[in-house]
Amino acid sequence: MLQADARARLLIAGQAPGRKVHASGIPFDDASGERLRDWLGLDRDAFYDAARVAIVPMGFCYPGKGASGDLPPRPECAATWHPRLLPQLREVRLTLAIGRYAQAWHLPEAGATLTEAVAAWRAHWPRIVALPHPSPRNRAWLKRHPWFERELLPALRKRIAEVLAQGR
């Protein structure tokens, strides 16, 4: 569920793999991944090119099922591995913090809610952007916040294209 290469220019910091992704061993190999690739304007080849895109979740294994979805990532995973792994990714020019657990790690000063963190996307531009999880479960959030697809996504796609072009 980890994809990392020292040459990567884009870092996708997600939550933890879901059951399907844990079984396949391929990060974002599910409906959430399809939506995320669409949001980012990346095809599968570009998305899974480790020399361009690093994918480092907060938890590296499926944390199990909870009452209203998957359980949170196991906290010892990020605490143990992120301080060792992230400094090796020296070429990263843009980090996407997907979901509240990734936002708490990468943007500890971000808003108290996911909506506040995502709405403040210009505050850390062009280095880091908070995103909601691309899960199909988040359709209602997307519907309530049309500015996300209207304003943030076009700017993000342009920034990603710039970042990935710099590494060629």
Round to whole Å and give the CA distance between 95 and 13.
Answer: 7
Round to whole Å and give the CA distance between 35 and 72.
Answer: 21
So what's the pLDDT on residue 156?
98
CATH classification (class only), 10-166:
alpha beta
**Over residues 27-41, mean pLDDT:** 96
Q: Which residues contact 156 (CB under 8 A, 6 or more apart)?
A: 39, 40, 129
What average pLDDT does the chain have?
A: 94
The model's pTM is 0.95
- For residue range 74-130, what is the model confidence (pLDDT) as tens digits? 999 999 999 999 999 999 999 999 999 999 999 998 878 999 999 999 999 999 999
